């Protein structure tokens, strides 16, 4: 398979992953995690969040192509951004799958007080370890990848700023709950934008 075809497939993966991220953001605006399956039209939580869960592996595949499309020009900065962002997206995918696919559905069936017991027995170190790893990936990783994209000048510089803005709003989530949705929306825009640009441009064989 030629490099051009690989880049096109990787770009398509980024576009589809970004679009599914956008759909997931829309669902989050209307689907509250505290609602029961009956209140959600009979559909379980994991089905409502399926687009977001499927989007992450597609985004990872697309991210590989996006990095390779500018790897020479992005240099070490781009490599570090790619590695950290990949870790952040991977950890996010695992957290999202466990939370929406296993944790929330189980809540409706557990005994009263069991949830509180589970939370009380979870140490701060266990919780924050995953949060810190994801924050470094989606935060620092996105910033480095965005800066590398701007400096590489292979893709539009504006999309690099979108990655940086997504990282900023991910951090703002600690003081404003809406920051997470804005961050996800910006990541969706960045992946769709870069993926579409990668698909249409002529790359060396």
Lowest mean pLDDT among 26-35, 44-53, 112-121: 112-121
- Of 20, 70, 72, the C-alpha closest to 50 is 20
pLDDT of residue 160 exceeding 50, the answer is yes
Query: 103-127: b or e for each residue (b if 16 or more CB lie within 10 Å)?
Result: bbeeeeeeeeeeeeeeeeeeeeeee
Phi, psi of 63 (to 5 degrees): -60, -35
Measure the CA–CA gap between 83 and 44, rounded to whole angstroms. Answer: 34
Are the CB atoms for 107 and 115 separated by under 8 Å? yes
The pLDDT tens digits for 167-177 are 888 877 667 77
Q: 125 falls in which pLDDT band (50, 70, 90)?
A: very low
Report the predicted TM-score, pTM, of the whole model to 2 decimal places.
0.78
CA distances from 169 to 24, 112, 176, 203 (A): 17, 36, 9, 33
The pLDDT tens digits for 20-46 are 999 888 877 776 555 444 545 555 555
Instruction: Give pLDDT, residue 89.
Output: 82
Average pLDDT, the chain: 77
Span 192-197, mean pLDDT? Answer: 94
Q: 201 falls in which pLDDT band (50, 70, 90)?
A: confident
Measure the CA–CA gap between 136 and 91, rounded to whole angstroms. Answer: 11
Measure the CA–CA gap between 139 and 81, rounded to whole angstroms. Answer: 10
- In order, the DSSP letters of 88-140 are HHHHHHHHHIIIIIIIHHHHTTSPTTHHHHHHHTS-HHHHHHHHHHHHIIIII
Helix (H, G, I), strand (E, B) or coil at 156: coil
Instruction: Give pLDDT, residue 112.
Output: 46
Q: 126 falls in which pLDDT band (50, 70, 90)?
A: very low
pLDDT of residue 205 exceeding 80, the answer is no
Q: 139 falls in which pLDDT band (50, 70, 90)?
A: confident
Q: 111 falls in which pLDDT band (50, 70, 90)?
A: very low
């Amino acid at each position: 398979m030629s490099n051009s075809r690989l880049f096109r497939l990787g770009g398509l993966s980024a576009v589809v992953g970004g679009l599914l991220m956008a759909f997931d953001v829309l669902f989050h605006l209307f689907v509250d995690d505290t609602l029961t399956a009956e209140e959600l039209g009979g559909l379980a939580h994991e089905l409502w969040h399926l687009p977001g869960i499927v989007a992450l592996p597609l985004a990872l595949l697309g991210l590989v192509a996006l990095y390779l499309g500018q790897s020479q020009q992005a240099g070490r900065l781009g490599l570090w951004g790619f590695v950290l962002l990949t870790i952040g997206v991977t950890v996010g995918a695992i957290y999202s799958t466990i939370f929406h696919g296993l944790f929330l559905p189980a809540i409706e069936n557990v005994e009263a007080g069991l949830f509180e017991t589970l939370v009380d027995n979870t140490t701060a170190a266990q919780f924050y370890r995953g949060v810190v790893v994801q924050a470094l990936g989606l935060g620092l990783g996105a910033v480095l990848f965005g800066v590398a994209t701007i400096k590489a000048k292979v893709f539009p510089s504006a999309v690099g700023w979108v990655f940086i803005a997504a990282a900023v709003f991910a951090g703002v989530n600690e003081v404003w709950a809406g920051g997470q949705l804005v961050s996800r929306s910006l990541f969706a825009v960045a992946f769709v934008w870069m993926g579409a640009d990668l698909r249409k441009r002529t790359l060396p064989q």
